[in-house]
Amino acid sequence: MKLLVTTSPHIRSSLSLHKVMYTVILCLLPALFWGVYYFHIRALFLLITCSLSTVVTEVIFKKVRRKPVSIGDGSALLTGVLLAMVLPPYLPLWMAALGGFIAISLGKEVFGGLGYNIFNPALLGRAFLMASFPVQLTTWGIPARASWVSVDAITQATPLATTLPKFSGNGIYPLQKLLFGLHPGSMGEVFSIGLIVGGLILIALRIADFRIPLAAILTLTILSSVFYFTGKNYPSPAFHLLAGGFLLGAFFMATDPVTTPYTKKGRWVFGVGMGALIVFIRLFGGYPEGVMYSILIMNSFTPLINRLTRPLPLGGKK
């Protein structure tokens, strides 16, 4: 009999990094397919550009630093896919490529690579683009003709911009349209059903923790109902849940294991903070959408939340 002497850990999970990353990408597929179908070929170009740009940037950084090239784990690809999903589908492609470069270089590699970044790289890339090209990043459109090669688009405001009272507040956007993704918006955020299904699968597979999405959804619902039932024509909670990038953010970005708290209590705190910030930015801030900024702001609080919610070791004293 062969005896093997090893140090702990003795039990290893079969879940590896690249399995996690590719599962997340698989769960994003329904929303992605819908985005490409609805916004036509330009959305596909956007997706390819972002993915190529993030992967190539990662390779360059690893080569320059003479470290093993680890694009096989899929994390750079996932960043690229997520970035494409939060950008307007008709964005000039060189801007998308720049966003991917910034996301990986300033968002991840300068901090030391995967696992050391403070902010969600995809959202950081988008925040950089948002600050650099505010006009292009807020120009939305829906395809003008139902043809695959058409790049014509009609510029239209997003449901959030047409419904929020601080902008015009004249229309209640039909919820079915929001649910089935028949409205202008970022490439990957429009198809609510796909995002919900993908997110639930992610949670069922225990890859994403249910606490952050649940806390964010509850907070958003409760807080927006307070305004809905008391205030002057604020949009309904259902609208808040389905419009904009909330579902994508809550299920796929706020569950990123690197930039969100690792304690169970901390995850509740993160979700509540995120939901509350979204409602306040949407209703009272200068922008129609607040999902990106609320996740980035909560990312910056993550180390603090981790420190304050660290569970006591058995027999430890406060």
Partner 1 sequence: MKSYIVFIKGLWRENPVFRQILGMCPTLAVTGYLANGIAMGLAVVFVLVASSTVISVFRKLIPKQVRMPTFIVIIATFVVLVDYFLRANYPFLSKKLGPYVPLIVVNCIIMGRQEAFSSKNPVWLSFLDALGMGIGFTLALIILSTVREILGFGTLLGHPVLGQWFTPWVIMALPPGAFLSLGVILGVINTFQKKSTR
Applying CB under 8 A, the residues found at the interface with partner 1 are: 92, 95, 106, 110, 128, 131-134, 136
Q: Pick the closer one to partner 1 by CB: 111 or 210.
A: 111
Q: Pick the closer one to partner 1 by CB: 91 or 291.
A: 91
8 A C-beta contact, residue 281 and residue 302: no
Minimum gap (Å) between residue 55 Cβ and partner 1: 21
Q: What's CA 81's distance to the chain center, in Å?
A: 10
Question: Could you give the 3-state DSSP secondary structure of residue 220?
Answer: helix
Q: Pick the closer one to partner 1 by CB: 95 or 283.
A: 95
Q: Pick the closer one to partner 1 by CB: 130 or 269.
A: 130
Torsion, CA 156, CA 162, CA 166, CA 172, rounded to 10: 180
Q: Pick the closer one to partner 1 by CB: 33 or 94.
A: 94
Q: Taking the chain, what is the end-to-end CA distance rounded to the nearest angstrom?
A: 48
- Among 314, 317, 215, 236, residue whose Cα is nearest residue 282: 236
At 269, which amino acid appears? Answer: V
The full length of the chain comes to 318
8 A C-beta contact, residue 239 and residue 184: no
Minimum gap (Å) between residue 84 Cβ and partner 1: 19
Minimum gap (Å) between residue 303 Cβ and partner 1: 20
Q: Pick the closer one to partner 1 by CB: 32 or 129.
A: 129
Contacts of 15 by beta carbon, 8 Å cutoff, 6+ apart:
207
- Among 218, 219, 200, residue whose Cα is nearest residue 210: 200
